[in-house]
Amino acid sequence: MMRSDEFGDIRWRALYMLGRDEATRILDGMLLMGHTFDALVCRGNLYHQSGDYASALACYEEAATGEPASGPLALAKGTTLAALGRYGDALKDYDIAVRTLPGNATLWNNRANALAHLGRYEEALRDYKTALRLDPSYKDAWCNRGDCLLRVGRWEDAVESYERAVAFDENFKRAVEGCAAALYLMGRAREARHYTDRLLDIDPRHVNGWMLRGALEALSGRYEDATRCFERVLRIQPDYVEGWFIRSRMLFAARRLEPTVRSLQKTL
């Protein structure tokens, strides 16, 4: 016959894996009575999933007390530190995790993201390459690699990387936006317009999509059309100061001076 403690252990683990709120209540009760390593890690994971990164980090740090270095725990802790913007600290945990999880594509992708945020782009690109060697269908790594290439001005390579991501998910907004932005920077307006239109088909309220379309209209000298694009931006996000400023520039280019002055007032 199953013991009551074994029953309780299996029950909270099953509820946790199902993502049930009841798992949170059980874990909190367990931690009040005296924590266990697994309960702390799982509670930290739940905090992380809810966006409470500070509480997640506290759970992971408590779980690590007196425990040998654990690859999965170091990965979870590093990911939480990165979410808090502490990329240097995150990198230290990723370095611990990689010793025991060298075949984990998510780890290499996350480590690359931390390096990119620290401005260490060439190292980041090497880590993205490792992640994609381990999992060639990892769309997020393809997209993140594209972002990194975009930052270092390798626009052609960035487009190729974004397109690989889109090949795995045609509705991947961030990758479609990346394609549009890189092609715009390369002066390939027709192709940029194709991806911008695609982005707005996926999400008609995508602010950056309308910003890019407005920029493309302005590039072609269609300032009235560009103005309408920026007006769409401002209907979606009325407090977007940069949107008001760019709209003012388009109005001025179209020699609509009174609306220009009114629009500029919104930036003050």
Q: What is the pLDDT of residues 199-251, one digit of tens each?
A: 999 999 999 999 999 989 988 999 889 989 988 998 999 887 887 777 777 77
Is the pLDDT reported for residue 12 higher than 60?
A: no
Element (H, E) at 100: helix 87-100
pTM above 0.85, yes or no: no
| Higher local confidence (pLDDT), 77 or 31 | 77
Structural domains of the chain in order of their starting residue, each with its CATH number? 1-102 (1.25.40.10), 204-268 (1.25.40.10)
Is the pLDDT reported for residue 253 higher than 80?
A: no
Q: Return the beta strands (E) in 186-226 as ranges.
A: none
Output the pLDDT for position 33: 53
Is the pLDDT reported for residue 113 higher than 80?
A: yes
Spatial separation of the C-alpha atoms in residues 42 and 48, rounded to whole Å:
10
8-14 own/partner pairs: CB under 8 Å, 24+ apart:
12/39, 13/42
In the chain, what's the furthest Cα-to-Cα distance? 85
Instruction: Find the helix packing angle between 189-202 and 207-219, rounded to 10°.
Output: 150
CA 29 centroid distance within chain:
33
The DSSP symbol for 203 reads -
Spatial separation of the C-alpha atoms in residues 74 and 8, rounded to whole Å:
27
Output the pLDDT for position 84: 97
Output the pLDDT for position 64: 87
Q: What is the pLDDT of residues 94-110, one digit of tens each?
A: 999 999 999 999 999 99
